[in-house]
Structure formats: structure tokens, C-alpha cells
Amino acid sequence: MIAAIIVAAGRSSRMGTSKALLPHADPRLTFVSYLIHAAKGGGAHPAFVVGRGDDAKLYREVVSSGGVFVTNADAEAGQLSSLLAGLDCASADPHLAGVLLAPVDVPLITAATVDRIIVAAAGTSAAIVRATHAGRHGHPVLFKRAVFAELHSADPHVGAKAVVRADPARVLDLEVDDAGVTMDVDTPADYQRLFGRPIVDPLRR
């Protein structure tokens, strides 16, 4: 069993509105609903979405999209705190073999890519499988149970990267055709470049 952890507890300060709730290429979907479907469609389930406890709009979107909302009570501590909040929930299942980390601001990951990573992880002794495209590191990143304790003890200022960089020999970089694994959407300009339209603020729709 591989669970997805979609981290969405950031303030979206550069975007100016919630990235998780932005409309996707199909405007009927938001970033977070698209990623939930992509994760589950690729074989990662449950799909845990980590957000702030006061984010009622995100909570409703996650639940209506078939995800599991997880509150990060320490969201200001950074992305690692969100990964750990999701990991704590996912680890309650004794069948959990690993978790697939997918930031909500990397919204173009496909179900096919998720499937490839999970299949590759099952066939390798590597503890970490990381998607790459054209030689560039991207997301999602799969962490097997063997490194869960290291994630819990990692420097929060460095985050999960500290665990990835600790021993390159245990990391499998999986080259995929999906250019979306390296495409972050952090600003309105990023959004317009990728989707060909300006942002319609989802909090005002």
C-alpha cells in the first residue's frame, strides 16, 4: 500500500490566493481535486491532503473529491511539518509500504506518472524514488517505510531534502515523459504561462 500526501498548508503569499483551489486545465477541477484523482488513479491511496485547520473551503473540496483532510497544527514550521502530519495519519495502517509526496503547487503530475513511480518502487531496493524529467529533479517523491524515522528527525529548515540527500545510493531517479513533474505554479505569471489564462480568484467565485 502506497498512500499519497498532498501538502497544501502554505499561505500562497506569492500567488495571492489559495493555490489548492485554483481552477485546473479543466475548470471543473481545482489543483487539489486534480491531484487527488491523479494520485488515486495511479494507485496511491488513500490521498491525504494536509492543510490548515481553519481552511474550511479546502476541507470541503478535499472531502468532495474523495480525499482525506489532515490538519497541520504547526503549518508555519514549513513543508516538512505537513509531510509529517500526513505521515502520522498514513502510518496508522500496518500495510503502508510508503508515501508519495506531492506538493499542491506542482499540479500537472499525471496518474500515469504516479503508477510508474509505484511500479518502480516495488521493483527496487532503493528507499526513495524521485521523478525526474530531462534530468531535472521533480515531484512526486516516494519514501518507503525504511526512511520514515529519518523524516521525523530531519532538520525542519532543510525538510525532506535532507533525507533525500543523505545517501544518493538509496535514491532511484526515475526519468519520466511527464514534464509536469518539474512545473511549479507559485505566481500568477506561472499560472497564466501554464494554463493560458489569468487567474479567477477561487475564493471570490
Q: What is the pLDDT of residues 188-205, one digit of tens each?
A: 999 999 999 998 755 544
User: What DSSP state is assigned to residue 30?
Assistant: B
Judged by phi (left if over 0) then psi (alpha if -120 to 50, else beta), residue 7 lies in beta
Instruction: Give residues with Cβ within 8 angstroms of 77, minimum separation 6.
Output: 156
pTM (2 d.p.):
0.94
Q: Which own/partner pairs from 65-74 qualify as long-range (CB within 8 Å, at least 24 positions apart)?
A: 65/30, 65/32, 65/33, 65/36, 65/37, 66/36, 66/37, 66/40, 67/6, 67/32, 67/36, 72/9
pLDDT tens figures, 8-24: 998 888 888 899 999 99
Q: Which pLDDT score is estimated for 203?
A: 52
Q: According to the model, what pLDDT value does residue 202 have?
A: 53
Domains along the sequence of the chain with CATH: 2-192 (3.90.550.10)
Whether the pLDDT of residue 77 is over 90: the answer is no
Q: Which of 129, 145, 127, 156 is nearest to 90 (CA)?
A: 145
Classify residue 23 by its DSSP letter: B
| Mean pLDDT, residues 92-115 taken together | 96
Confidence check: pLDDT of 66 > 50:
yes
